[in-house]
Amino acid sequence: MYLDGPRVTLPISQRTIPDRWILSQLNHTIKTVTVELESYRFDRASNALYQFMWHEFCDWYLELIKPVLQNSDHPDGPGTRDTLVQILETTMRLLHPFMPFLTEELWQTIPHHGHSIVTQAYPMEEPSWDSREAEHLFSLTEQTVNLVRTGRVLLNYPPAQQITFYVAHEDSTNQDLLRQVIPHVAHLGRGTVENIERSAWPAQQLLKLVAEGLSVGITVSGDVDLQKAVDRLDKQLSEVEKESQRLDGKLNNPDFVSKAPPEVIADHKDRLRALAQDHSMLISSEQQLQSMLGQ
């Protein structure tokens, strides 16, 4: 398995960006779970663990470290394997009160110390794991990859197809930070990426997606059916508009607003703002593709 091979425990500052980010997220999760358990909110505690394991650990971290684990000679291998073991072992202890038999079984299959997970201490906060820098770098990575994936869907590129795309940020600091995460963006975006100013991007056959100062340009290959792409955009625009109208109707309903929990209201407002951004991006994309069609 990918855990086989040498492991080395590095100082936090010397670990990779994905390793520092996942440890920071794990520390946030430990804090949240501890607070919720002390308040007897077992539902919130279990939900925090679910969000961490399924979305942050599985959806992002494991994907980010695949190039390292799949290359037995990768220089980051020993440190990454050590962090992976640390995350798995700590998470099993966090989950143990919720699913004791399964976590005991899993804990016994990974490197650990002690006879049983029952005798191990429950995880506590580790301030040295907190890293705002790593969290910001990951946020840039996630935002960029999501824009690339959106463009791939709009152009109907198969998941395995390698593409060429460009990234740039209007903020000079973030533009410099993007250079640190280019390898991760290229891996998750399935292609070759160039981090250069927008003025240096190709002038034609490039679909540009913009969100919160970040720009991604995806090369439109000759085999892309532009008319079908426009048709897909029209369908997505219709769905976004329909969902926006639904949420707006609920938020403008005094009866709903007076009875809904504050967190539900906040979630609806956040969703409505995200849909507004999606709508703007889809309109811009449609205009670009129609221009390529000569319409």
Per-residue model confidence as pLDDT tens digits over 210-231: 988 899 999 998 888 899 889 8
Long-range contacts of 50-57, Cβ-Cβ distance < 8 Å, separation of 24 or more: 52/25, 52/26, 52/91, 53/91, 53/95, 56/22, 56/25, 57/22, 57/87, 57/91
Residue 55, pLDDT score: 94
Residue 168, pLDDT score: 94
Nearby residues of 200 by Cβ (< 8 Å), 6 or more positions away: none
Residue 224, pLDDT score: 86
The rounded Cα 178 to chain-centroid distance in angstroms is: 15
Residue 293, pLDDT score: 83
Q: Supply the pTM of this predicted model.
A: 0.88
Low-confidence residues in the chain, pLDDT < 70: 1, 295
* CA-based nearest residue to 183, from 75, 88, 82: 75
CB-based contact 201:217 (threshold 8 Å): yes
